[in-house]
Copies of this chain bind each other. A is one copy, B any other.
Amino acid sequence: MNCGKSVSNPIINRLPKYYRILCFLKKLGVRNICSKELGDEAGVSPSQIRSDFMCFGGEGLRGSGYNVNILINKISEFLGLNEVYNLAIIGAGNMGQALAKNRSLERKGFRVVGIFDTNDFIIGKKIGAIEIKSLDHLSEFVNQNHIDIAIITVSSTYAAEVINKVIEVGIKGIWNFSQVNVNVPADVVIENVYLSDSLMVLAHNLKNYKTASQFMP
């Protein structure tokens, strides 16, 4: 069975987690894993694992479980991780610089090829080997270089305007680090990263732990 394009978003959203865990297990020398063990690691039930993997042709063998290498390749292929993606960072502030210097993204096939900003004080400076260009030159740059994904690391104030510009020049993928939620056309895909959401959950759990421990003997 192969669900192909009908794989639902919740399944797709779980695949990077499985991929991460499987790569970690591979490093440890693990060759096979059963749905129970992988489910325990991923925080989902064994039947969820089996049902998720059936959707893209990841089949286990009764007794020996899933082959870790095969599963990694299947997920890679399904998610499109065997390809190389060209990225342009829009906003060369702190987060933009951190992502530009992040080598682990490059190892996964996500290659930063352009960095843009509107601040005259930093335009012309370099981050690694890449010169920061004026945002006014984005259109020209996109005409000469294929860009798959724009990383939006400008402040919330300018985010909507910048995202519209990115769409206007024909970039189809947006990885949005601004706190702004922008509606995009149907032929553009966007993933929003809200860093502080998980910090708020952490704060809540921390507060609850404190409150609970006050009543401990």
Q: Which of chain B's residues has its CB closest to A101's CB?
A: B94
Most chain B CB inside 10 Å of its own CB: which residue of A24, A181, A199: A199
Q: Which residues does chain B contribute within 8 Å of A15, judged by CB atoms?
A: 200-201, 204
Verify B94–A102 contact, CB threshold 8 A.
yes
Verify A209–B189 contact, CB threshold 8 A.
yes
Stretch at the interface among A31-39, A47-55, A75-83, A161-169: A75-83
A67 part of interface (Cβ distance < 8 Å):
no
Q: Which residues does chain B contribute within 8 Å of A30, judged by CB atoms?
A: none
Stretch at the interface among A58-66, A104-112, A116-124, A137-145: A104-112
Contact of A198 among B80, B191, B210 (CB under 8 A): B191
Minimum CB–CB distance from A46 to chain B (whole Å) comes to 18
Consensus secondary structure, chain A interface: helix
Minimum CB–CB distance from A72 to chain B (whole Å) comes to 13
Contact of A202 among B189, B196, B197, B200 (CB under 8 A): B189
Kindly report how many copies of this chain are found in the complex they form together.
2
In chain A, positions 86-136 with a C-beta closer than 8 Å to chain B are 94-95, 97-98, 101-102, 104-105, 108, 110
In chain A, positions 162-217 with a C-beta closer than 8 Å to chain B are 172-175, 179-181, 187, 189-210, 212-213
Verify A80–B179 contact, CB threshold 8 A.
no
Q: Which of chain B's residues has its CB closest to A87's CB?
A: B199
Q: Which residues does chain B contribute within 8 Å of A104, judged by CB atoms?
A: 179, 196
Which residues of A pack against B, CB within 8 Å? Answer: 5, 12-13, 15-17, 19-21, 24, 41, 78-81, 83, 85, 94-95, 97-98, 101-102, 104-105, 108, 110, 148-149, 172-175, 179-181, 187, 189-210, 212-213
Listed by A's residue number, 30 A-B pairs whose Cβ atoms lie within 8 Å are: A5-B208, A12-B204, A16-B196, A16-B200, A16-B201, A17-B197, A24-B180, A78-B204, A79-B200, A79-B207, A80-B204, A81-B200, A81-B203, A83-B203, A85-B203, A94-B102, A98-B98, A110-B196, A110-B199, A148-B206, A149-B203, A149-B206, A173-B202, A173-B203, A175-B198, A175-B199, A187-B209, A189-B206, A190-B202, A193-B195
